[in-house]
Amino acid sequence: MVKLFHDAGAKGDRDLAVRLLRKRLKEFEALDGPPGTWDRSDFELALVEAERGNYNRACRLLEMPHNALRDLVYTGVIDPRRLASTSKRYRHRIEAIDASKKG
């Protein structure tokens, strides 16, 4: 019975993470230019966490006004140039996360 409760929470977290990722991607697409380094790195880190199944962490990263992981970008641990991707590729990755709940 506990397992069923846990799965229900994971499904809710996954659905929320997918919604937030899609929303953020739409915001990026609505910009006149490319998103800033911080916004892009926050989005990419959240996307990676969701791909790993850490949906709650992905949601928190997307909802934080200041992501503490930005220090990793600032110190060079994470190279923002590696994070550059296209909207099409991001959308494909988000769809894969969403599809994982069905399979």
CA 87 vs CA 24, 34, 43: distances in Å:
11, 10, 12
| Separation CA 58–CA 17 (nearest Å) | 6
- Give residue 27's Cα distance to chain centre: 13
| Separation CA 23–CA 50 (nearest Å) | 15
Q: Which token pair is 44?
A: 């990419």
pTM here? Answer: 0.67
Q: How many domains is the chain built from? A: 1
Query: Would you give per-residue pLDDT tens digits along the chain (103 residues)?
Result: 333 334 445 778 899 999 999 999 999 888 887 777 667 778 888 898 999 999 999 998 888 776 666 666 667 666 656 665 778 888 898 899 898 865 5
Domain encompassing residue 55: 2-100
Closest CA to 73 of 39, 44, 46, 38: 38
